[in-house]
A = this chain, B = another copy of it.
């Protein structure tokens, strides 16, 4: 556990070891064979794991401080999508070499976000090898309050937090697919490298939203996960999908591609009954995150499969050929 390089002890174990090594308090922490953790009385642990690989999930030249942020942010985003309160995480990583400057910046980005969400490092593993980061994150949620994927119901509105597409726009600029002025390019790059997990919104939506997930692979593919698990269809107004002022300055076809089939958005997509519109909007205001209605859920008719019907602002059907986010490479 975090003991193989003294540099790593210095940057990680020390900050992790700040927590009490007393099982009764909730966690044994770093330095034993296992960490001990229990959810609060009546709640369950929500658990998610993500692996990030250089060249696939981030560019080799990424600022290591941004990488530290993003590696934890994408995991916290999974907790947000369950309506779970962050508690703790483990970090396993392979590094080609123990580079002090790199580790200092990476750990700074990681712990700055962890501390903001009260999410403590309770264990890990480090080894040499091609750069690879694997975080497993733990949150707590009362099981009946968990925001699942299989609970969307006909008549629900479909909502999106924040705006979509900026991260994909940033990836396109780094790849040379399109360009933007320096200020917009910085906006897109920030969205790509420093997503903000919607933890507070996920908590505020407990008891209001029916189904939820976080958008990591693009709206078109991710919303389909809710539809398939809930056995329903969706109708989405593509012109209602929220986008930033910067994205609105790119050509319309690129806007659509970035918002509908982009990825790395880490915004929440959720459904809620039409009677809860005021409550959803109040939840968004309470946590200072915009929420936008983009469509509705409907029941499957005979022989229909779960699918998304795309419409323009006038309600006319659109035929879109969209693929999910390809994480830098086509599979």
Binding site for B on A (CB under 8 A): 1, 4-5, 21, 23-24, 28, 31-39, 43-51, 53-57, 78-79, 81-82, 84, 90, 92-94, 122-130, 132, 134, 136, 138-139, 141, 143-144, 146, 148-150, 212-214, 225, 229, 327, 329, 331
List B contacts of A229 (CB < 8 A): 31-32
List B contacts of A53 (CB < 8 A): 94, 127-130, 132
B38 touches A136 (CB 8 A): no
Residue of A24, A33, A132, A225 ringed by the most chain B CB atoms within 10 A: A33
List B contacts of A79 (CB < 8 A): 33-34
Can you list 27 A-B pairs with a CB-CB distance of less than 8 A? A23-B148, A28-B146, A28-B148, A33-B79, A33-B149, A34-B47, A34-B139, A36-B44, A36-B47, A37-B45, A38-B44, A47-B122, A47-B136, A48-B123, A49-B125, A51-B93, A51-B94, A51-B125, A51-B127, A53-B129, A54-B129, A90-B136, A92-B136, A129-B132, A130-B130, A132-B132, A132-B134
A132 touches B51 (CB 8 A): yes
Indicate whether A124 sits within 8 Å of B78 (C-beta atoms), given known contacts A28-B146, A146-B36, A148-B28: no
Beta-carbon nearest neighbor of A144 in chain B: B23
List B contacts of A78 (CB < 8 A): 33-34
A56 touches B127 (CB 8 A): yes
B49 touches A123 (CB 8 A): yes
List B contacts of A126 (CB < 8 A): 51
Kindly state the separation between the CA atoms of A331 and B8 in the bound complex, as whole angstroms: 13
How many identical subunits does the complex contain?
2
Kindly state the separation between the CA atoms of A168 and B4 in the bound complex, as whole angstroms: 19
Kindly state the separation between the CA atoms of A112 and B40 in the bound complex, as whole angstroms: 33
- Name the distance in Å between A321's Cβ and chain B's nearest Cβ: 20
Kindly state the separation between the CA atoms of A81 and B28 in the bound complex, as whole angstroms: 14
Kindly state the separation between the CA atoms of A4 and B125 in the bound complex, as whole angstroms: 25
Indicate whether A33 sits within 8 Å of B134 (C-beta atoms), given known contacts A51-B94, A125-B50, A128-B56: no
A45 touches B49 (CB 8 A): no
Kindly state the separation between the CA atoms of A4 and B326 in the bound complex, as whole angstroms: 10
List B contacts of A49 (CB < 8 A): 90, 92, 123-125, 134, 136
List B contacts of A81 (CB < 8 A): 33-34
Indicate whether A141 sits within 8 Å of B94 (C-beta atoms), given known contacts A50-B125, A132-B132: no
Q: Which of B35, B51, B148, B329 contacts A48 (CB 8 A)?
A: B35
- Name the distance in Å between A136's Cβ and chain B's nearest Cβ: 4
Q: Which of B28, B82, B144, B150 contacts A34 (CB 8 A)?
A: B82
Kindly state the separation between the CA atoms of A5 and B146 in the bound complex, as whole angstroms: 27
Q: Which of B55, B82, B127, B146 contacts A327 (CB 8 A)?
A: B127
Kindly state the separation between the CA atoms of A148 and B128 in the bound complex, as whole angstroms: 27
B34 touches A134 (CB 8 A): no
- Name the distance in Å between A12's Cβ and chain B's nearest Cβ: 13
Beta-carbon nearest neighbor of A6 in chain B: B331
Kindly state the separation between the CA atoms of A78 and B90 in the bound complex, as whole angstroms: 15
Indicate whether A329 sits within 8 Å of B38 (C-beta atoms), given known contacts A23-B44, A47-B90, A214-B33: no
Kindly state the separation between the CA atoms of A28 and B28 in the bound complex, as whole angstroms: 26
